[in-house]
């Protein structure tokens, strides 16, 4: 049996996480990983979607990876994130594109207030803040982002030249996009099983393949 990547609904994940299976004489635990992003129009350029879909299309020996795409709307996000974390042990990797060339950001924090970016329906969250049980303006993943960056930089040989100078850095401010909004909701459910990756535009030697390879190492290092 192999771990696979596939696109599906959150309900599909609930029976697939943390499934033990025999391998040689050992029992191996499949890691349940949700790759979380947003739906975009068919012709839109979106490097994060390209990376997510490529990762999800591959096979893995120790992971069950699901691609979950939410509508670009604030309204259903809390319910969707709540449903996602009904799956025991699932690790949610949030993805979004940003404009900084040749840099993948591993986001350490998310913020409850300051959301002024309208969703696809033209709506803003009430009070420009995340509506949930948490009263903390700042939530932080307890995944060691600095350690993840160090391991991935060494493993991928990111020396400032390779892949056009592609680098991985820790960020402590993901902005106030709808992706950051969903990350806050995810951290509110589990600070140990949530992380957010900002993907740069492709260009030159910073190809989709290069970014995918580095992001796969980030997933390994974070889980």
Q: What is the mean pLDDT of the chain?
A: 88
- pTM metric for this prediction: 0.88
Give the dihedral sign, CA 201/207/209/215: negative
Q: Which parts of the chain sit beneath pLDDT 50?
A: 1-5, 14-28
Whole-angstrom distance, CA of residue 169 vs CA of residue 151 = 12
Which helix (H) or strand (E) segment is 220 a member of?
Answer: helix 208-222
User: Which domains does the chain possess?
Assistant: 3-222 (3.40.630.20)
Burial class (CB in 10 A: 0-12, 13-18, 19+), 116: exposed
How many CA atoms within 13 Å lie on the side-chain side of 19? 17
Q: What's the confidence (pLDDT) of residue 168? A: 98
* E strands present in 162-221: 167-171, 194-199
Q: What's the confidence (pLDDT) of residue 46? A: 93
């Amino acid at each position: 049996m192999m771990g696979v990547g596939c696109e599906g609904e959150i309900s599909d994940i609930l029976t697939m996480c943390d499934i033990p299976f025999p391998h040689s004489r050992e029992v191996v635990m499949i890691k349940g990983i949700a790759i979380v992003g947003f739906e975009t129009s068919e012709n839109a350029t979106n490097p994060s979607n390209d990376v997510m879909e490529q990762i999800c299309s591959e096979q893995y020996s120790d992971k069950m990876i699901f691609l979950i795409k939410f509508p670009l709307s604030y309204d259903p996000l809390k319910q969707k994130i709540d449903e996602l974390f009904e799956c025991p042990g699932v690790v949610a990797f949030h993805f979004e594109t940003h404009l900084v060339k040749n840099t993948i950001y591993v986001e350490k924090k998310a913020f409850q207030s300051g959301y002024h970016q309208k969703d696809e329906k033209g709506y803003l969250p009430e009070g420009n803040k995340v509506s949930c049980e948490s009263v903390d303006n700042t939530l932080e993943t307890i995944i060691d982002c600095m350690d993840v960056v160090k391991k991935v930089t060494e493993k991928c040989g990111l020396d400032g030249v390779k892949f056009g100078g592609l680098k991985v850095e820790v960020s402590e401010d993901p902005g106030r996009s709808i992706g950051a909004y969903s990350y806050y909701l995810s951290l509110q459910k589990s600070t140990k099983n949530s992380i957010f990756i900002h993907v740069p535009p492709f260009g030159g030697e910073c190809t989709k393949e290069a970014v995918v390879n580095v992001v796969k190492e980030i997933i390994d290092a974070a889980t």
